[in-house]
Chain A
Amino acid sequence: MKSAEQFQAFYSTILAPVVSAIEADRKAIVKKIYIAAMVAVGLVILSSVFGEVSVTKTKDGLTSYSGGISDGLFYVVGAGVLGYFFWFRPKNKDFKARFKSEVIGRIVKFTDESLEYNPTAGISQSEFEQSAIFDWAGHRYLCEDLVSGKIGQTAVRFSEVHTQRKQEMGGDGDGNGKFHRWVTLFKGVIFIADFNKHFKGRTMVLTDQFFQNIKVKRDPVVRMENADFEKAFVVHSSDAVEAHYILTPSLMERMMSLYAKTSRVQFAFYDSIVCIALPIKENLFEASVFSSVIGETKIERYFDQLKRFTGIVEELNLNTRIWTKE
């Protein structure tokens, strides 16, 4: 595990120049927006002062004004909308993508040489469904920021995943609704790692608050000895002895410490791997064009975000390989 001091050294030698270059570009973008805004305001003022206003009296005796400020506003707003879609949005997208590939990519490699980062890939929908933690991947499945590789002897893959369902609003219930909104089913990180023991069946460790359990048909419940663990989770398994084999007193304690950091964390053990679903509200590894990216503390926050997941291997002691699985 890389320490804070090592990160500081890494930042000053390798990251700082990269971050400076990106910051320079970012400032250029913000400057342009600023100038555009000033010009817009200027135009509006000018048009209100100098624009010809024609006043007409309609049949009903009302007065209507045209020209002047309303013309100015119209053109400015129109230009603004066009500028947003054709200039700002692609620039913003490029900025975020560049930040991810140049900064986050390097931080990932720094954390462990074997790790690869792909900002646009993620845990596939079929992997998500295979874990059987959730009964449905939703109407819309989005994923990004895939990190994959090996930490010690443990192969890992994790990414952000966001599943949503469509909710009809203002309709007749037959799908003819005028509007729909997207409701989040799961938002967070799906983490898949090679488990340190061979086993044949499937064991699920789900939090009690997870009401989906009722809807989905699951394996029989297995009771464990750890009282705190039993309060936090419900264990379903295809083989009770295997469930005890996987969930040793030591592992249960480690899972409880993960639970303390991320409530509603779910685990699935199958095919000799472990899949962990961590619900997380924030969007990881994002940079905004409107705030500075320079600063060791700021960048270290991304490193901390990453460590939260790469650290799971050590937290669950997955690199202890004293059984038949290497």
Chain B
Amino acid sequence: MALIPILGAIGIVLIIIVLIYNNLVSARNNVESAFGSIDAMLKKRYDLIPNLVETVKVYMKHEKDTLAQLSALRTKATSGTTSNDDKVGLENQLSSMMRSVMVAVESYPELKASEQFTMLQRSWNEAEEQISAARRNYNSVVTQYNNAIEKFPSNILAGMFNHKRKPVFVIPEVERQNISAKTMFS
């Protein structure tokens, strides 16, 4: 008769272990899914570049070099041969280059007035904001995963099943700045 409570206790412990294990697996899968979302948003932005370069090239004769560089960067980024570290560097280069193009547009009133360009600019803003959203989501999900790994009692299982702490995505300072309509449309 003494066996029943002991079996019961073991049963409860087993159930708890299963719950914790499953929770860790979900958390890790969420992280991978969130990382995938970032890539998807990045791709959307890359896809905008050829169209943008073509539209802008006609007007911005002086900026030929910058535009050529932009196209080259894009080709490199989508080639699939870059390492993750290189990717981050590429990303930053692309963003800053794009920003200088947008600033240069200020000197070309016909371009600013062009509906096609305005639409592209809006799409670009949207793509940037979606990338930022994907990154913020990734950070939130990673933090939850890291918490699960480090907190008791799941940290016991975490070590057993090879769950390791993941790095949080550092969002470049410029992206953190709120896009102000004044700078984009003045």
Chain B CB within 8 A of A322 CB: yes
Given A322-B122, A323-B126, the answer on whether A241 and B137 have CB atoms closer than 8 Å is yes
Q: How far is the CB of B146 from chain A (nearest CB, A)?
A: 13
CB contacts under 8 Å to B, within A235-250, are 240-245, 248-250
* Also in contact, A249 and B141, with CB within 8 A (given A323-B122, A324-B119): no
Q: In the complex the two chains form, what is the Cα distance from A198 to B127 in whole Å?
A: 12
CB of A197 within 8 Å of the partner chain: yes
How far is B129's CA from A201's CA once the two chains are assembled, in angstroms? 17
Choose the segment among B2-10, B68-76, B177-185 that binds chain A (4+ C-beta atoms closer than 8 Å): B177-185
Given contacts A224-B140, A244-B136, A245-B133, contact A322 B179 (CB under 8 A): yes
Tell me whether A248 and B137 are in contact (CB under 8 A).
no
Structural contact, A248 and B34, CB atoms closer than 8 A: no
- Asked whether B92 is an interface residue with its Cβ less than 8 Å from the other chain, the reply is no
Q: Chain B interface residue count: which class?
A: 20 to 34
- The A-contacting residues of B in range 155-176, CB under 8 angstroms, are 176
Do A323 and B125 touch (CB < 8 A)?
yes
Q: How far is the CB of B142 from chain A (nearest CB, A)?
A: 11
Q: Are A225 and B178 in contact (CB under 8 A)?
A: no
Residues B140 and A322 in contact, CB atoms below 8 Å apart: no
How distant is the Cα of A250 from the Cα of B136 in the complex, in angstroms?
13
B residues near A241, Cβ cutoff 8 Å: 34, 37, 41, 130, 133-134, 137
A240 near B34 with CB under 8 A, answer yes
Chain A residue with Cβ nearest B138: A241
A91: B residues at CB distance < 8 A: none
B181, A248: Cβ atoms closer than 8 Å: no
- A197, A225, A243, A244 — most chain B CB neighbours (10 Å): A244
Tell me the nearest residue of chain B to A323, going by C-beta: B126
User: How long is the Cα–Cα vector from A61 to B141 in the complex, in angstroms?
Assistant: 91
Whether A150 is near chain B, meaning CB under 8 Å from some CB there, is no
Task: Count residues on chain A whose CB falls below 8 Å from chain B CBs.
Answer: 20
Overall SS of chain A's interface = loop
Instruction: Say how far B129's CB is from chain A's closest CB, in angstroms.
Output: 6
CA distance A198 to B122 in the complex (A): 12
Expressed in whole angstroms, the minimum distance between the Cβ of B55 and any Cβ of chain A is 16
Contact with B along A247-266 (1 / 0, CB 8 A): 01110000000000000000
- In the complex, how many angstroms separate the beta carbon of A237 from the nearest chain B beta carbon? 10
Partner of A322, one of B37, B134, B176, B184: B184
Partner of A225, one of B37, B134, B140, B184: B140
A284-326 at interface with B (beta carbon < 8 Å) = 320-324
Q: How far is the CB of B74 from chain A (nearest CB, A)?
A: 21
Complex Cα distance A248/B175, Å?
12
Judge if A96 is at the interface, Cβ distance under 8 Å.
no
A313 to chain B, nearest CB (A): 15
Q: Does A106 contact B (CB under 8 A)?
A: no
Return the CB mask of B137-156 against A: 1 if under 8 Å, else 0: 10111001000000000000
Contact A248 B184 (CB under 8 A): no
Partner of B181, one of A198, A242, A244, A322: A322
Among B37, B123, B125, B178, the residue within 8 A (CB) of A249 is: B178
Contact of A197 among B123, B126, B136 (CB under 8 A): B126
Q: Contact partner of B125 among A224, A243, A322, CB < 8 A?
A: A322
A224: B residues at CB distance < 8 A: 140
Residue of A nearest to B185 (CB): A322
Shortest CB-to-CB span from B71 to chain A, Å, is 23
Does A165 reach chain B (CB closer than 8 Å)?
Answer: no
> Contacting A248 at CB < 8 Å: which of B121, B126, B129?
B129
Q: Which residue of A lies closest to B183 (CB)?
A: A322
A residues 217-231 in Cβ contact with B at 8 Å: 222-225
Q: Which of chain B's residues have a CB closer than 8 A to the CB of A243?
A: 137
Q: Which of B's residues lie within 8 Å of A, judged by CB?
A: 34, 37, 41, 119, 121-123, 125-126, 129-130, 132-134, 136-137, 139-141, 144, 176, 178-179, 181, 184-185
Could you tell me which A residues sit within 8 Å of B by CB distance? Answer: 197-198, 222-225, 240-245, 248-250, 320-324
Other A-B contacts than A223-B144, A248-B178, 10 sampled, CB-CB below 8 A, are: A198-B126, A240-B34, A241-B41, A241-B133, A245-B129, A248-B129, A321-B181, A322-B184, A323-B126, A323-B129
17 contacts between A and B (CB under 8 A): A240-B140, A242-B133, A244-B132, A244-B133, A244-B136, A244-B137, A245-B133, A248-B129, A250-B178, A320-B181, A321-B181, A322-B121, A322-B125, A322-B181, A323-B122, A323-B126, A324-B122
- In order of increasing CB-CB distance, the 10 nearest A-B pairs are A245-B133, A244-B133, A323-B126, A244-B137, A244-B136, A241-B137, A324-B122, A250-B178, A241-B37, A320-B181
